[in-house]
Structure 1
Amino acid sequence: MTSRPAPDSHVASKIFPSPNHGPRAPKAGDAENAARRPDILLLHYTDMADSGQALNRLCDATSEVSAHYFVFEDGRVLQLVPEGRRAWHAGAGVWDGERDVNSASIGIEIAHPGHRRAPERPESMPPYPPAQIEAVIALGRDIVTRWGIRADRVLAHSDVAPQRKRDPGEAFPWRALAQAGVGHWVEPAALRSGRFLSPGERGQPVEALQAMLALYGYGLDIDGFYGMHTEAVVRAFQRHFRPERVDGIADASTITTLRDLIAARP
C-alpha cells in the first residue's frame, strides 16, 4: 500500500496539490544548477469572498497562479506546492534587488475578502479571525525556522509590488506575528504634526527618504522626485509598519518608524 506524501510543514493538515509551479531559478552569482534556498516568506490575502473558490483558483491550471500554503478562516492549513518548488504567487515585483521573487520565496495565501470600498470610507477591511492568525503564526514560525529566513524578509505582497498590490493589508496583525517570532517590527512612532513630504515634491529630503526605503529593501529609483511610485512605496510601508494612517504621505511618524526599523534590522 502506497502511503500519501506528507506536507513539508507539520502545521498543514494535508497536501491539496496545485499544478502551477516550476523549478526555482538559481540566485544571481550561483551555478546554473545550484539548488535555490528560499529566503523570503511572502504573505497574501486571497481577495475573494469565498475561500473555496479561492482555493480552486489556486489549483486551476488555467489560472496560472498558486501558493505554497492556503490558510482557511478557521485555521485549517493546506499545502498546495512543495516548498522546494517555485510557486506562482508574487508576480512582477522586487525586494532588495531580487526581481524573481517567486524563486526567492515561500508564499502563504490567507483566505480573506480583502479591501472593500464603501461610500463612507475609501477602503475598509474586515479583521482576520484569531484562529486563522494563530495558524499563520504557527506555519510562519515553522517555515522561517527550517529555512533560516531573516525576520526582515517576512514580507507583504504589497511590499514587493507596491504599485499593484495592497495585501495582506493594514488590518493584518504584523505586531502579533513579530511578537511570536515571525517578522520584523518596531512600535510605530506616534502620529503628530510637523514637516512632511508629499507627492509632487522634489529635492534632497525626498532623495533621502527614497534612499532609506531602498536601504530597507523597497524597489524604487532614488531620483529626488516624490512621484506615483514613491507614493505607492510609502503606502506599502505604512500598511505594513505604520497602519494607523495609510495615506502615502511621509509624515514624521512614517519617517521615524522607517529610521527605527533600519536601526533595529537583524
Structure 2
Amino acid sequence: MRKILYFIGLGTFILSCAPQKNVKTSSYRPKPTTTQPKTVVKTPTTEKIKPQITNDRGVEFFTTNIADPTKNDNTISYGSIVSAKPTGYKVVKTYFPAIAQNFRQRYLILHYTALPDDKSITVLTQQAVSAHYLVNNTGDNEIYQLVDENKRSYHAGVSSWRADKNLNDTSIGIEIVNAGYTADSIGKRLFVPFNDAQIRKVAALAKDIITRYQIPATNVLAHSDIAPTRKQDPGPLFPWKKLYDEYQIGMWYDEATKQSYYDLATVDFAAKYNEPSFIFNVQTQLQKFGYGVEPGGKWDDATKKTIEAFQYHFRPQNYDGIMDAETWAILQALIQKYPVK
C-alpha cells in the first residue's frame, strides 16, 4: 500500500515540475464590420447641343428658338447678330445665346398718313417722322420698308397703353396711305375709306409681324388708341372687325357678352349719366382696358376724345364721343375678354 502511494506522489511531483507550455486563452472577439462604400452609378449627362450660328459671308445669324415660348422667351434673331468690337479684345460666342431674352417689338401700331403716296414717302423718309413700313395705294404688290425692325422709328410720339409708355421704344409702326378726313359745315369729321387691295396688304404684313414677334391681340392698336387726345388715325373706316374675323388680327368683342351688358345698362343709364360717381366709373373702366385717361369725375375734353377713339376702333357706326349704353356694353365685353394680366 505504501509503495502504491509512493509512486502516485512521485508521478504528481514529476508532472508539476515538468516545463509548462504557454496556453493561449481563447476569448470571443467579434470581427469588425467594414461598410463598403456604395458604388454610385453616374448617369451620363447629355448636354444640350445648341444649334450653330449661321455665318453668311462674315455676317452672323441665329435663327433657332431654344428658349421657353410659354414664358415669351425667344432667341431667334430675325436680322444679323450685332456684337461689340472692343479694341484689343475678341468677343466670342462660346456660350451664345442665353435663353432669358425676348423681343423688343411688343406692339404693332397702325396709322394713316393723311397724304398721297408721293408726299407720304417724302415726309416719312426725309423729315423727323418715320415708320417701319409704308403701305401704298398704287395697286401694286409692293410694301415699302423704311426703318429696320430692330430700330426705333418715330411714329407713336407721346403715347401709352396699359402700363407702358413711349411706345416708340417697343413697337413697330405701319403707315397706310390714306387722305384722312375733312370736316363738314358743323365740324363733323368725314373720313376717307380704305382700298380693299390695300387692306389685304396691311393684313398680310400685320400677320407676319404679329406671328414672328408673338404680339398679343391687346397690343395691336390704332394710333388713336395710344394717343387719343392728339390723334384720330387710322379712323373709324379702318376695318378692324374684318381683320379680326378674316385674319385673327387684333381685338374684338363677343356679341352675346356685349348684349348681356347692354340689357343691364339700358335700365337707368341716362338717369345717372351726369353723376360724378358714374363719370368716374366710366373713366376708370376706360383706364382699366388700356387708355391713358385720368379719372376725375367730369366729362372733360380728354375723356370725350378717349371715348371717341374707343368708338373709332370698336363702335365706328357712331363716334360722337358720348358714352351711351352700347359703347358701355362693348367696353365691358372687351374688359371681360381681354383682362389685364
User: Considering the TM-score relative to the shorter chain, is it more than 0.5?
Assistant: yes
> Per-residue displacement from partner, 1:147-205 (whole Å, max 9, x unpaired)?
01011111000011111100000000000111111100126758997734999x45111
The aligned counterpart of 1:221 is 294
5+ residue gaps in structure 2? Answer: 1-56, 58-100
The question of 1:124 aligning with 2:190 is answered: yes
Provide the aligned C-alpha RMSD in A: 2.7
Query: Quick one: structure 1 residues 157 and 196, their matched pair in 2 at CA, closer, same or farther if it must change by over 3 Å?
Result: farther
The aligned counterpart of 1:195 is 269
Distance 1:214 1:146 in 2: 29
The question of 1:231 aligning with 2:304 is answered: yes
AA in 1 matched with 2:201: A
> Per-residue displacement from partner, 1:62-89 (whole Å, max 9, x unpaired)?
x210000000112531111011111000
Query: Quick one: structure 1 residues 202 and 226, their matched pair in 2 at CA, closer, same or farther if it must change by over 3 Å?
Result: farther
The question of 1:245 aligning with 2:318 is answered: yes
The aligned counterpart of 1:44 is 111
Instruction: Answer yes or no: is the 8 Å Cα contact 2:103–2:213 preserved in 1.
Output: no
The question of 1:157 aligning with 2:157 is answered: no
> Residue 87 of structure 1: which of 153, 164, 169 is its match?
153
C-alpha deviation, 1:42, in angstroms = 0.2
> Residue 333 of structure 2: which of 257, 260, 263 is its match?
260
> Residue 134 of structure 2: which of 70, 73, 82 is its match?
70
AA in 1 matched with 2:282: L
Distance 1:125 1:220 in 2: 25
C-alpha deviation, 1:52, in angstroms = 1.0
Q: How much identity, in percent, do the aligned residues show?
A: 37
The question of 1:174 aligning with 2:240 is answered: yes
Query: Quick one: structure 1 residues 197 and 247, their matched pair in 2 at CA, closer, same or farther if it must change by over 3 Å?
Result: farther
Distance 1:121 1:100 in 2: 31
Distance 1:154 1:35 in 2: 18
C-alpha deviation, 1:36, in angstroms = 5.6
Instruction: Answer yes or no: is the 8 Å Cα contact 2:223–2:232 preserved in 1.
Output: yes
Considering Cα pairs closer than 8 Å and 6+ residues apart, tell me whether 1 or 2 has the greater RCO.
1
Q: 94-103 vs 186-195, which deviates more?
A: 186-195
Instruction: Answer yes or no: is the 8 Å Cα contact 1:36–1:103 preserved in 2.
Output: no
AA in 2 matched with 1:219: G
SS of equivalent residue, structure 1 residue 209: helix
Distance 2:324 2:211 in 1: 35
Largest Rg, 1 or 2? 2
The aligned counterpart of 1:184 is 251
Query: Quick one: structure 1 residues 227 and 151, their matched pair in 2 at CA, closer, same or farther if it must change by over 3 Å?
Result: same
SS of equivalent residue, structure 2 residue 111: strand
- Structure 1 stretches of at least 4 aligned residues deviating more than 4 Å after TM superposition: 187-194, 196-199
C-alpha deviation, 1:46, in angstroms = 0.1
C-alpha deviation, 1:107, in angstroms = 0.3
AA in 1 matched with 2:131: A
C-alpha deviation, 1:113, in angstroms = 0.3
Q: 209-218 vs 245-254, which deviates more?
A: 209-218
Instruction: Answer yes or no: is the 8 Å Cα contact 2:110–2:176 preserved in 1.
Output: yes
Instruction: Answer yes or no: is the 8 Å Cα contact 2:272–2:278 preserved in 1.
Output: no
